[in-house]
Chain A
Amino acid sequence: MRFIMLMAANPISDATQPRIAKGVRLQVDSATGKTVLLFPEGIVELNETAQEILSRCDGRTLSEIVSDLAEEYDADPATLVADVRETLADLQQRKLIELT
């Protein structure tokens, strides 16, 4: 069982639809109120950014996720997109999400 931190990796296109991978569960940890990803032998506690992104990984495309977040947080999509890409790429490397 490993508890891992989220780190950076490489880019993803605007039309990509990220989804939570098979065998991975997004769940609220009742002990802390925080959102976690559960997978074989592993738990990742999500930071707020990752949680906001993952809760939108339901068929929406990258550009839709970014514009949703920009609206929600009144932020500039152009600055958000790099963070979102980075987080998704990392989650994909760890097989926690699938990109279609």
Chain B
Amino acid sequence: MPATKTHVNVPRPYALLAEVTYRCPLHCPYCSNPVAVGSAVLSGEHVAQPSPAPNALSRLRIATARQGRAAHATANDGELTTDEWKRVIREAAALGVLQIGFSGGEPLARRDLTELVRAARDANLYTNLITSGIGLDDDRVCDLRDAGLDSVQLSFQSDQPDLSDEIAGAHAHRRKLDVASKIRAAEIPLSLNFVIHRRNIDRLPQMIELAETLGAERVELANVQFYGWAFLNRAALLPTYEQVARAREIATAAKARLAGSMEIFYVLPDYYESRPKPCLNGWGQRYLTVNPIGDVLPCPTASSAIPDLRFENVRARGLDWIWRESESFTRFRGTEWMPEPCRSCPQREIDFGGCRCQAALLTGNAANTDPVCEFSPNRASVDAVLRDVSSSSDHARKWTYRVNPKLLAYL
């Protein structure tokens, strides 16, 4: 390629995902958070041991209590401070960012969340809170609203308390119902977010109904994407073809039925597609993520999926330089990096070659065409996974619950 990999025409970012902490009271096996954070590898006993079995919940409580004690002394180690986040927010706004999503982990685990929301509003950003709801009491809902919070996306695991709590690995469902009504009472716009997978996909109509009952403006039905913990738990989470086909019909019908009253946003199960998703609308085009320790990522899952890419940290560099110039943001920006079949494909500026993280996870090389694509020489790797799912009718395959990572201080 010519040496003119210049940085003219660098697009401006529209949205910042602020992953303010990886701490979370839930243990959802579909979490896209990294299984290990940087060099801070989880204590091996949790990851290596076989999945929690029948009495999963009680065993998990013991495991997490143990983990909780161990992590207690160093819970905030390595996380950006309030002032560092405020600087990141100002720098993001100056770069052109219009929206911020406070996410995690569970963002409410940070006591300074209200202050960060206020800082984001002061920078004229549209503020979303993406939360499990655990920790959102009356006072906090009002504080967040008064700080200018624009919208809350509240996660649910299903419509049924027992199934939900089993998926979350915590008694959370009833508290979430209560939190939803608090959000309504505070008149903050509410979205319900469901991650859809093998164990809850057959409850889609009831989940949509729950969103209606709770008065949500919007519901996101996102088929699980396989990164982080979800990649580890893929065999237990991937739905069958029949489940996916039915879910699609239900979502399409509900979308038509509820048009104008509740918006339904359905995220496709991409393994079952023949063309890849237009991941991020192109690498380094519209989005950036800052993770709890200040690493700046083109995509939240890039740090775990693409280990050979070096990510910059806001403690060492300004956001503007990282976005425009850094290796991590420029490596897959545009179309120059593309191999065949993407390079000569008429779809190359429509799907951007799909997802770099997925290419890395499934083919070992982030620069490959996303193997979901029917033209990828690696499509067989996806088909093999799908064959394995359809050959088994066992819907109760075991998974490994997410546990909280221990962060190492940034060096």
Contact = CB atoms under 8 A, between A and B. Distances in A.
A94 B263 contact: yes
B307 interface: no
Contact of B99 (A1, A31, A94): A1
Interface in B24-73: none
Contacts of B231: none
Contact of B98 (A21, A27, A40, A95): A27
Interface string A1-39: 111000000000000000001110101011100001011
Given A43-B14, A92-B260, A1 B286 contact: yes
A66 to B, nearest CB: 22
Contact of B217 (A1, A22, A92): A22
Contacts of B410: none
Contacts of B281: 1, 3
B96 A23 contact: no
A72 interface: no
B98 to A, nearest CB: 6
A71 B265 CA distance: 39
B92 to A, nearest CB: 12
A55 interface: no
A40 B128 contact: yes
Contacts of B12: 31
A27 B124 contact: yes
Contacts of B96: 29-31
Contacts of B260: 92-93, 95
Given A23-B189, A40-B191, A1 B98 contact: no
Interface in B89-142: 96, 98-99, 101, 124, 126, 128
Given A1-B15, A40-B153, A95 B286 contact: no
Contact of A40 (B14, B151, B287): B151
A95 B14 contact: no
A38 B187 CA distance: 18
A95 B187 contact: no
A41 interface: yes
Interface residues of B, number: 29
B313 to A, nearest CB: 24
A23 B151 contact: yes
Contacts of B126: 25, 27, 38-39
Given A40-B189, A95-B218, A29 B150 contact: no
Given A40-B218, A94-B263, A23 B150 contact: yes
Contact of B287 (A1, A31, A95): A1
A99 B69 CA distance: 53
B217 A95 contact: yes
A35 to B, nearest CB: 12
B316 interface: no
B263 A95 contact: yes
Nearest to A89: B260
Interface of A: 1-3, 21-23, 25, 27, 29-31, 36, 38-41, 43, 92-95
6 contacts: A1-B287, A41-B191, A94-B263, A95-B217, A95-B261, A95-B262
Given A94-B263, A95-B262, 20 more contacts: A1-B286, A2-B265, A3-B281, A21-B217, A22-B189, A27-B98, A27-B126, A30-B124, A31-B12, A36-B98, A38-B150, A39-B151, A40-B191, A41-B99, A41-B153, A43-B15, A93-B259, A93-B260, A95-B218, A95-B260
